[in-house]
Amino acid sequence: MLDISVSYNRYKFLGHEFLTWLWFIIDNNQTKIKESAPISMKIGNRIVLENGRRDAVETIIIKGDDADLEEGILALKKGALVVELNLVCESGDQEWRFTIKGDNLNIVTLKPPYTEPMESKQDLEGSLLERAYLYNMIFEGIDALFNQFIKLRISSDWDQNGLLLIKKWIYS
Amino acid sequence: MGLLSSSVSIIRYKVEGNLKPPVLETIANSLKEYAIIEIDGDSSERTVGWTSYDDPFNPDFERSSFVIGNYLVFSLRIDKKAIASKIIKKHYSLEAAKRLAESGRQYLSRNEKKMIKDKVISILNLRIPATPNIYDLIWNYEESYLWFFSNLKSANEELETLFSKSFKCSLIRIFPYTLADLMMNFSDTERDILSNLSPADFTE
């Protein structure tokens, strides 16, 4: 395997492409999400895009609960990619909110579904296991989606069933 | 942000390496060996070590209290003493003036100034308590992954160093390339294609 710091920087673009693909999938193909995890996924209250096609990196931040995402699409048209995405996932009556970073796929400010507060130390084990289960659901979902993306990305299908469809969505 | 907080940030790692059986005993011994050492009343400025999740100020790894279901749950503790620069300056000035008066000289050499400053910091460190910072982690030994509940760069670096020292296993941070390379069961051909990928152009 490549040196960790070299691979981190050299393949950072994969995370940005993944989040851009994920936005496209959320908008166009919820079935793909259901195939990966028993959750539904929608865009939350923040998208950060970055355009590094010029000498200086341009950052575009769209935030707000009902923000107009047109600005984001416009940024994609100019060559920007998604570098940070706030997501809302639902399964039954449970809801997770979190932000995923493209550079490293770190999950930050994850708010898991409500769980009963601990009343005594005896509840600790149950509370920890419940939380671990809830965190794991998100990681399994993200990993399964990343798996779909990366398999498509390295396949000969990418140009037709990946890149072309995303371009159609951006320019529609 | 602890692992039961209402909002958490999680950094994922893959754990590489195997522990000597019996694994739980090996882990408990390493946790005890590298457990946090209190530095209050000591001249040390900072200390890093493992602590119990449920009792971070009184770590106890004697019983297998860190085993919860399939998970190993414990915490990294980093204690630091922060002395305001103005306090150091005040005590340094007093000490330097005393030294000058005692020696009858008008100036101190650079070496003497450094020695006075080190002594002042050391004395102040004896007097102030360390501020503890606690970062929780969940380790799934069977599936070789670890979740660390902080995205602070310095805390993650301390974790990687202490983990490797304690358990002789390395932590590989999960990011797009490592997730694809280590966790997607790719064939050699697929790995080659992955290594040769370059950014796609999404514009027309």
Using the beta-carbon criterion (under 8 Å), do A112 and B181 form an inter-chain contact? no
DSSP H helices in B17-152: 23-33, 85-103, 110-127
Determine which helix (DSSP H) or strand (DSSP E) holds A52, and give its type and residue range: none
Q: Is the pLDDT of residue A37 over 90?
A: no
Which residues does residue A46 pair with via DSSP β-bridges, in sequence order?
A63
Using the beta-carbon criterion (under 8 Å), do A139 and B176 form an inter-chain contact? no
Q: What is the pLDDT of residues B58-102, one digit of tens each?
A: 888 876 689 999 999 999 999 999 999 999 999 999 999 999 998
Mean pLDDT of the region B173-202: 92
CA A127 – CA B54 distance, rounded (Å): 12
The residue ranges of every structural domain in chain A are 4-171
The pLDDT of residue B61 is 86
Q: Is the pLDDT of residue A119 over 90?
A: no
Longest C-alpha distance within chain B, in Å?
80
Q: What is the pLDDT of residues B11-70, one digit of tens each?
A: 999 999 999 999 999 999 999 999 999 999 888 899 999 999 988 998 888 766 899 999
**CB-based contact, A84 to chain B, within 8 Å:** no
Please tell me which residue, A121 or A12, carries the higher pLDDT value: A12
pLDDT band (50, 70, 90) for residue A116: confident
Distance from CA of B204 to the nearest CA of A (A): 7
The pLDDT of residue B21 is 92
Q: Tell me which of A104, A111, A142 to substitute to probe the interface with B (most B C-beta atoms closer than 10 Å).
A: A104
Using the beta-carbon criterion (under 8 Å), do A8 and B177 form an inter-chain contact? yes
Please tell me which residue, A18 or A5, carries the higher pLDDT value: A18
* Residues contacting residue B31 through CB under 8 Å, at least 6 positions apart: B50, B59, B61, B66, B74, B166
Determine which helix (DSSP H) or strand (DSSP E) holds B189, and give its type and residue range: helix B188-195
Whether this prediction's pTM lies above 0.95 is answered by no
The residue ranges of every structural domain in chain B are 11-81+129-195, 85-124
Using DSSP, state whether A34 is helix, strand or coil: helix
Using the beta-carbon criterion (under 8 Å), do B197 and A112 form an inter-chain contact? no
